[in-house]
């Protein structure tokens, strides 16, 4: 026997390892998702050693969105080594695809993920092991990730285990990990934090949050998320404190401008001594304005007492509390998702709290993000429920604000059947109507020819559009505009100047879900005589019955200009064209946008020679400059058209 030859078992292990190593370039689908009562039933994460609550906890996020795909940190029990891996979600088939990229091989670890640009950061904690930090880089060609060299990194002094770690990145690029860790005192833990200013390559030794009452009960949680305060940007840490005498959710902010160890004074976000204001469930997110939001569970026991509450800390520093569900509804483990595109805050909860009280399912409540008014307390819409899985629990989603066309994805598990389940939620995200002027058309005495453009995004795809208008109000009555085809996204239409229109865009996705958006529009004509137009160089006035308003301004001086600042969503330049007209440069907001030749074979009045449009209203400046041409050295300004 050749002692240098590998054994049969070794060869099998080596072959299996090579197969796993190749998965990243040839990803494989997991077992097909099966529709259930609500949502879908996914693959099993069973291993003999146990991986039970794979999607816990509310403080952490296991999902993220990148480059048109949802991804998840899910447990893969197959192959040579069972481990958490990066899975890519196929929205069309509702299946997960295993990319083969390994994260934490500890089957009872719990990760919090953060996607920033093409980077994925993961903080993975373990109740009896170190906190580990991972860094990955996204490959847009293969739609997967590669682990960066030198990772994972281990946080010092965490080998004895910690609570659920959470991860954030402040506006200055510094990374933060926050967790709870047991002390020598029975049933007591500290809220601790560590930082990295080099993308996670090195980490500070974890330190106790230097804020009063940062010593909490063993089961309490702490979360970190970016925040904007009246004193500037930073991160905010919220923690639960169930100890008698506290019974509250507390908060402290760190400002980017301050030293790492300098924290703002503690704030009481909710509850207080004797009020049973805090259980140990927190799901914290940050909205686009920098407000800190958290869905929490209280410990109140009265039937009508608030049980699930969304807290918001405004930039000014005040706290709001918005009740989602009351104690009698038996809801637990809230997870918050912020959807600014749809102006919606979604809270996912488990009910009932205990499986002994009945089969558990995931429900969703929604409120406008602007008001956070959830209305009458209720469980909401059944979102994930399966007759085969009686303990559906521990919903998780993303900490990213939902973007245009993403849809929403939420994942849960069942610790008795050891199955993943998910729900995909989508409705067309309809953009505001966009209006431009039809260049080289002639502006009428009371009308202008415009191009109307619209669009929507939806992960299921758009099946058709409809367009309506009203000249009465934003609620109609509506007149439908015939479109060239079901998927047309532009149409040319003559609109009256100085009249207010409301346009309603309706989009239907391929699952039959309809969304609408109403956009007001008014065209305003600004005559060349307006004092808001600033002229430079020599300009003269010409009176002509064909000119807008009976007159126009013109120049034959090279580099003469006219500048106009306005508030609106579109701008059009109305001029005359003809054999003697020259060449003009058009600048918008200081940038050269277009070089226009104003020559035509015959004189043409009130021609729209330039148009620029934006999706939303704003302050802009347009400037036209005569640069001339051989034998042609005239430029006219008859009017500007502004859409608002």
Taking the model in full, what pTM does it have?
0.88
Q: Which residue has the tokens 């307390």?
A: 377
* Structural tokens at position 514: 């309809």
Q: What is the pLDDT of residue 237?
A: 96
pLDDT tens digit string along 223-252?
999 999 999 999 999 999 888 778 899 999
Residue scoring higher pLDDT (526 or 106): 526
Q: Provide the pLDDT for residue 51.
A: 59
Q: Whose CA is closest to 29, among 101, 100, 96?
A: 96
Task: Look at residues 500, 492, 516 and name the one whose alpha carbon lies nearest to residue 435.
Answer: 492
Q: Which long-range contacts (CB under 8 A, 24 or more apart) does 273-279 make?
A: 273/245, 273/246, 273/247, 273/248, 274/247, 275/247, 275/248, 275/300, 276/247, 276/300, 276/301, 277/247, 277/248, 277/249, 278/220, 278/240, 278/241, 278/242, 278/246, 278/247, 278/248, 278/249, 279/240, 279/242
Q: Residue 48: its pLDDT value, please?
A: 56
Using CA atoms, how far apart are residues 263 and 195, in angstroms rounded to an integer?
14
| Mean pLDDT, range 480-508, rounded to an integer | 97
Q: How far apart are CA 374 and CA 370, in angstroms?
A: 11
DSSP class of residue 13 equals H
- Mean pLDDT calculated for residue range 477-502: 97
pLDDT at 14: 33
Q: Quote the percentage of the chain above a pLDDT of 70.
A: 94
Compute the distance between CA of residue 371 and CA of residue 467 in angstroms, rounded to an integer: 29
Per-residue pLDDT for 17 more than 60? no
Q: Confirm if 49 and 382 have CB atoms less than 8 A apart.
A: no
Burial of 531 (C-beta count, 10 Å sphere; 0-12/13-18/19+) = exposed
> What integer pLDDT is reported at residue 183 of this predicted model?
85
Element (H, E) at 494: strand 490-496
Tell me the sheet residues that pair with 154. Answer: 132
Q: Which residues contact 148 (CB under 8 A, 6 or more apart)?
A: 135, 136, 137
Phi, psi of 549 (to 5 degrees): 75, 5
Cα gap 120→8, rounded to integer Å: 38
Task: Tell me, rounded to whole angstroms, the distance of Cα 132 from its chain centroid.
Answer: 26
Per-residue pLDDT at 10 = 33
Whether residue 214 is predicted with pLDDT greater than 70 in this model: the reply is no
Share the mean pLDDT of the chain: 91
Rounded mean pLDDT of 538-555? 95
173-184 pLDDT, tens digit per residue, is 999 999 999 887
């Amino acid at each position: 026997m050749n002692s240098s030859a590998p054994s049969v078992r070794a060869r099998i292990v080596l072959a299996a390892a090579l197969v796993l190593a190749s998965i990243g370039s040839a990803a494989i689908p997991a077992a097909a998702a099966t529709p259930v009562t609500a949502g879908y039933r996914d693959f099993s994460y069973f291993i003999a050693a146990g991986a039970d609550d794979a999607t816990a906890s509310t403080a952490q996020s296991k999902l993220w969105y990148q480059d048109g795909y949802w991804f998840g940190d899910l447990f893969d029990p197959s192959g040579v080594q069972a481990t958490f891996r990066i899975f890519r979600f196929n929205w069309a088939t509702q299946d997960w695809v295993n990319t083969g990229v390994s994260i934490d091989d500890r089957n009872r670890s719990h990760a919090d993920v953060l996607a920033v640009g093409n980077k994925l950061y993961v903080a993975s904690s373990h109740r009896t092991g170190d906190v580990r930090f991972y860094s990955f880089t996204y490959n847009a060609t293969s739609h997967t990730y590669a682990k960066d060299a030198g990772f994972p990194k281990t946080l010092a002094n965490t080998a004895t285990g910690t609570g659920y770690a959470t991860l954030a990145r402040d506006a200055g690029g510094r990374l933060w990990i926050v967790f709870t860790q047991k002390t020598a005192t029975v049933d007591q833990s500290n809220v601790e934090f560590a930082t990295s200013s080099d993308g996670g390559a090195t980490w500070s030794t974890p330190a106790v949050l230097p804020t009063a009452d940062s010593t909490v009960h063993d089961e309490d949680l702490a979360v970190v998320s970016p925040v904007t305060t009246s004193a500037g940007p930073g991160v905010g840490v919220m923690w639960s404190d169930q100890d008698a005498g506290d019974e509250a959710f507390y908060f402290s902010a760190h400002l980017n401008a301050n030293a790492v160890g300098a924290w703002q004074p503690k704030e009481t976000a909710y509850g207080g001594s004797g009020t049973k204001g805090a259980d140990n469930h927190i799901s914290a997110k940050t909205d686009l304005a920098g407000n800190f939001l958290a869905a929490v569970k209280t410990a109140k026991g009265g039937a009508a007492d608030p049980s699930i509450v969304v807290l918001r800390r405004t930039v000014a520093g005040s706290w709001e509390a918005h009740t989602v569900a009351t104690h009698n509804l038996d809801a637990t483990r809230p997870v918050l998702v912020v959807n600014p595109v749809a102006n919606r805050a979604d809270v996912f909860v488990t009910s009932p709290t205990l499986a002994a009280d009945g089969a558990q399912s995931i429900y969703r409540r929604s409120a406008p993000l602007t008001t956070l008014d959830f209305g009458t307390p209720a469980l909401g819409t059944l979102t994930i429920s399966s007759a085969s899985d009686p303990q559906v629990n521990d919903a998780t989603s993303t900490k990213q604000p939902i973007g245009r066309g993403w849809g929403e994805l939420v994942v849960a598990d069942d610790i008795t059947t050891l199955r993943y389940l998910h729900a995909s939620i989508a409705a067309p995200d309809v953009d505001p109507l966009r209006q431009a002027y039809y260049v080289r058309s002639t502006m009428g005495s009371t009308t202008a020819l415009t191009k109307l453009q619209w669009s929507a995004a939806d992960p299921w795809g758009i099946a058709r559009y409809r367009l309506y208008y009203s000249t009465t109000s934003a609620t109609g009555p509506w007149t439908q505009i015939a479109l060239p085809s079901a998927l047309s996204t532009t149409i040319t239409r003559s609109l009256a100047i100085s009249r207010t229109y409301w346009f309603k865009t309706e989009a239907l996705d391929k699952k039959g879900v309809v969304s609408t958006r109403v956009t007001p529009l008014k065209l305003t004509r600004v005559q060349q005589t307006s004092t808001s137009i600033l002229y430079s160089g020599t300009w003269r006035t010409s009176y002509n019955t064909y000119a807008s308003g009976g007159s126009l301004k013109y120049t034959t001086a090279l580099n003469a200009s006219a500048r106009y600042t306005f508030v609106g969503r579109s701008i059009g330049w109305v001029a005359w064209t003809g054999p003697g007209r020259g060449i003009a440069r058009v600048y918008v907001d200081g940038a050269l946008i277009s070089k226009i030749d104003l020559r035509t074979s015959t004189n043409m009045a009130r021609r729209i020679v330039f148009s620029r449009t934006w999706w939303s209203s704003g302050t802009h400046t347009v400037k036209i400059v005569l640069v001339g041409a051989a034998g042609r050295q005239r430029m006219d300004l008859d009017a500007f058209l502004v859409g608002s």
